[in-house]
Structure formats: C-alpha cells, structure tokens
Structure 1
Amino acid sequence: MQYGPAVRRRKLGTELRLLRSRVGLTSIEAARRVGWHQSKVSRIETGSSGVKPADVQRLLDAYEVRDAELRELLLALAGGEDGGGRQNWWHAYRGVLPPTYRDFISLESQAGGMCTLETSVVPGLLQTPEYARAVTRAALEGVADDKLDALVEVRIARQDVLRADPPLRLHAILDEAVLRRRVGGPEVMARQLARLSDAAALPQVRLQVLPFTAGEHIGLTGPFVIFSFPNTADLDVVVLDHLTSSLYLERKEDLQAYVEAFNALRIHALSPGESLHYIAGIAAGA
C-alpha cells in the first residue's frame, strides 16, 4: 500500500536520510536500531515504498529528533495523520474525495504558506458556500445532491487553515476573468466579491488582481499553486490541476521557475490596495 503521493514519499525520504546522516548513522546501523532490514530503510529514503506514520515515528526516535513541529510535519507527510496518530478531518470524506484531492488537502493543512495564481475561479479557500456549490456542480455534471453537499462541506472546512494557529499565509493573484465570470448568477457573485474584500483585510491573506489591461503575461499558461513548509524548503512543491488529476512538481528547477513566474506576476498585478478598489468597482457594476 502506498501512503501519500509520490512527491511526498520522496520528500519525506530525503528528509529522513538527512536526519540519519546528521546523527552519523549508516542505513545499516539505522535499520539495526529499529529492528528492520536495511532494504526497508533504503526503500523509504528513496521514496520507492510507502511508509506508515508509526514507522516514521520509530525512525525519528532513532535519530533523536526532538523538534515537535518537524516531527508533526513528517508524520503528516507519511499518511495524513497528526503526531498523536489521529486521523485528520478529511478522512471522514474518503468515500467522496478522489486520492489527488485528499493529497492536496493534506499538503494544504501542513503548509506554512500558499501562493496561487487563479485564472478561472476564486481559490477554494476564499469561496462562499453558494459559489463553491455552483463551481462543483459545473465541474461534476450530474453529480448526486448528497455527494455535492459533501464536496461543498469539504471546500468550506478547508478554509479553517486560514484561522489556524499559526494560520496559513495565503497570497492569491486573480486574473480579472475570475472576478467577472458570473458563477452561480449575479447574487451569488455579488456575495463572492464581498467575501473576497473581507478576506483581503485579514493579515494572513494578500490578494492581488491581474487586470485585463496587463496584457499578455506568463500566467496565461495556466493556474498553479506553490506550497511552502515552515521547517524546510526541501518540502516545497508546485501543484498543477487538470480535469482528472493533479501534477506535483518537486525539482528545484521547477520550483524556481514557478516562484520566478509568481514574482513576475506580482509586479504585473495591482497592489493589494488597488486590487480592493478594483473588486469594489466590479461589484458596483463597473
């Protein structure tokens, strides 16, 4: 059984290998400490094999890792459980959530920061329930009402990361098309625009609008998300969403390219203050 997406397994394995090296253990010596065969340690470190949170905990104990935040992060990467072995809230929705969506929520819940470019819809963390329902219904034509209800519940529950302690730091750049597309109709969209204005006032949220007048820009290639983690940049990852799957990019060259792209878009976009005025203008019918 595989625990977590391949990108997380490889990143987890890399971090465990570094921790082992810091205490001066070979993979053979580490295996002896926990009572395993050396091949199991190697498979975990290369990400070629899944690993249970309990096994990660044994390795962290063997490597004398005392940093509580780092332990919690690595245990979560191992399989969607927290440091106490408790399943996270989204496991209650396993029957309706595809694995790629569960992986995304797991990354989102553990990240310290999230930078996102959206070209079509409002980011999930900033959606109203009515807007989320309209988007989900359009994406999953013919979906049953009970499943639709559950997916909207998940979308709204995800927003708790913005109220966590510490909260996720969200920097969202929205193409103007996101604001002008009347998802759900005029009333739903009016409430959604008001929600964006309220969210932009939060200290952990930075919102910028990329107006049509900016012309052509690198964001035309499509939306993306960059997750950054509090303990180590080696766990940072880019996520590209497709209709039926998600692509996780972890190579340093890919990360650097998308970080540079996001920074370029920040320059092209309106400032946060100007963006608020722009949203208010669209809401007023401008």
Structure 2
Amino acid sequence: MDGVPAVRRRRLGEELRRLRDLAGLTSGEAAGHAGWHQSKVSRIETGRSTVTAQDVTLLLDLYGVRDRALRDLLATLAGRGSSRGWWHDFRDVLPVEYRDFISLETGATRARSLENSVVPGLLQTPQYARALTRDVMPQLDEPAVAALVDVRTARQAVLRQDPPLELWAVLDEAVLRRGVGGSEVMDDQLRRLQEAAELPHVHVQVLPFSAGGHMGVTNSFVIFSFPRIADLDVVVVDHLTSSLYVDRKEDVAAYTAAFTRSRTRALPREESAAKIAEIRLQLPAGRRT
C-alpha cells in the first residue's frame, strides 16, 4: 500500500517482465540490447527504480510490442500522463497525489465507486462541487475554490470520451439526503444523478438505510481497472487528509469482494432511480423541475 508512483512502478514492472518473457528474452539479453546493465532491468521490473517513458519505449521496441493503446498506457504509467495531461495546468492548486489520481482515472476503462458521504466527483454538478469544497476546505480563497471546481468538472470528460469510462457508483442513501449547499443545489444534483443513470455506461445504485451496515459505512473507495493489462486494478481509499493506494492482489480482491457485496445489497438500477426521485421530492421548499 503506497502512493500512486510506487503503485505505477510495480504494475509497470510486472507488465514489462511479462512482455519480456513473451519475447523470449532474459533480463540480461534485454539489458544487453538496450545498452544497460542487467541490474537496471531487474530494478525496473521489480518497481525499485523509476523509469522514463523513453526507457519504456525502448523496451517495447525490443519486445516487438506494436499495439498503440498498450504502448500509450505503459508510457502513462511511466509518468508521461502526469506531465502532459490537462491537469498539469492546475499544478499550483493540485497536490501531486491528486494529479496522480487524475492520471489513473484518465487511463482507466472502468471505475467502481462505493461512497458513503458525498456524490462521486465524476457525477457532481459545479454548484455542488463548489459548496462541498467551501465546506471541506474553508481556508481556501475564492480563486482556489473556483480552480478546484474547474478541475472537478474537467475530470468528467472521461464519461464523454470515446470510448467512455464505465462507471459503477454505489451510493449510501446518506449521500442523497445530505443537504450540501441547500435544497436548490441538491435538487440540481439529484437531477444530475437521474440523468447520468440513464447513460448506458453509468450504473448508479442506492444502498438504502434499510440495508444496514456495509463496508462503505467505514470507508469510501474507488477501484480503477485498466485495459490490456491483467491484474492492474488499483484501489483508492479516502481518508480525511489523504488517500491510501492499494495494489496488493489480495487486498484488491478484498475490496472487490466488498464492492460486489454492496452492489448486491443495493437497490437494482430501476429501483435506485425511483429512490433518487423520491428523495428529490422530499427536499424542503426549493426548485424541483
């Protein structure tokens, strides 16, 4: 369990080792062709050493990998994504950990989110995001709040890209009833959830209070899955002041099982949509259109 850079190094190293084996090369042979010492290949494959996108490109050429999507993904894991992505423009207000989180989110093909307190960022309206940011980080001035809201909105492009990110969001009922920003903001937010749930690649399910305790009561988390690479899933667990990145296979399996149990206990898609509509109608006096 480490930060994103360590997670990416290990995952990248595992995949490069697999591709080397498929190419029929030993680590010594690969190092010789690359003009490196054998220890460099070993450190890269075990995640003990940083690796540049240029190093990855050289190894992929040696291994005969021509798949453009796979090459781009591995270059992103090597760090190219975090240095060239749109989020780099917000480096003055975004900590490195958040920029790395966005780079993982952007490279993923599927995200499974279990949320116990707030609407997932990919489904937030700007008004909701602004009210939440002000409440959670009251020390920020208005320009910083506006920048973070812009980032939250820009992240949602992954739901409109081709192909779009597949999002599974299991929301505790408390998420829908917590009055972030007041009734008008919540009315717009719940309507946004209703609209998003109609998209074929967005699956929204509600865990009603009647479901009792569940994993999400103690921890909200998201599981990212990536294309082309087996066992690349990464779990991000939210804490008050930081996030924990989990990539050990047995830990990822435990979170995956917890998400599956929560999804099974949640209301089906149609009943979840009806629950959101019901809660929206129960909002205190406010705009409901």
TM range (shorter): over 0.9
Asked if structure 1 preserves the Cα contact closer than 8 Å seen for 2:81 and 2:103, the reply is: no
The alignment status of 1:123 with 2:120, answered yes or no, reads yes
**1:153 & 1:223 partners in 2: Cα distance?**
23
CA-based RMSD of the aligned residues comes to 1.5
> SS state of the match for residue 234, structure 1?
coil
Show the counterpart of 1:56.
Answer: 56
User: For 1:239 and 1:4, how far apart are their aligned partners in 2?
Assistant: 9
Secondary structure, aligned partner of 2:231: helix
Determine the structure 1 residue equivalent to 2:24.
24
> How far apart, in 2, do the equivalents of 1:150 and 1:231 lie?
34
Q: Residue 261 in 1 paired to residue 258 in 2? A: yes
Match of 2:221 in 1: 224
- The answer to whether the 8 A contact 1:53-1:81 is kept is no
Residues 1:146 and 2:153 are matched in the alignment: no
Select the residue among 194, 200, 213 that pairs with 2:191: 194
Distance 1:123 1:142 in 2: 22
- What is the alpha-carbon distance in structure 1 between the residues aligned to residue 185 and residue 213 of structure 2? 29
**1:47 aligned residue:** 47
Residue 74 (structure 1) aligned with residue 74 (structure 2): yes
Structure 2 unmatched runs, 5+: 284-289
TM-score by length of 2: 0.94
What amino acid is the match of 1:249?
Answer: V
Q: Which of residues 234, 237, 249 in structure 2 aligns to 1:237? A: 234
Partner SS state of residue 81, structure 1 = helix
Query: In 2, are the aligned partners of 1:226 and 1:238 still within 8 Å (CA)?
Result: yes
Q: Which runs of 4+ in 1 moved over 3 A?
A: none
Pair 244,7 (structure 1): closer, same or farther in 2 beyond 3 Å:
same
Residue 4 of structure 1: how far off its partner (Å): 5.6
Name the counterpart of 2:65: 65
Report whether the alignment pairs 1:214 with 2:235.
no
Q: Tell me which amino acid in the other structure corresponds to 1:224.
A: F
Letter in 1 for 2:81: E
Further displaced range: 93-102 or 116-125: 93-102
1:248 is matched with which residue? 245
**TM-score (norm: length of structure 1):** 0.95
Letter in 2 for 1:190: D
SS, match of residue 213 in structure 2: coil
How far is the alpha carbon of 1:44 from its aligned partner? 1.1
Distance 2:189 2:126 in 1: 9
Which range moved further: 192-201 or 23-32? Answer: 23-32
Indicate the residue corresponding to 2:287 in structure 1. none
Matches within 5 A, 1:105-184: 105-184=102-181
1:182 and 1:189 in contact (8 A); partners too: yes
Tell me if structure 2 keeps the 8 A contact 1:4–1:50: no
Q: Helix, strand or coil: the match of 2:19?
A: helix
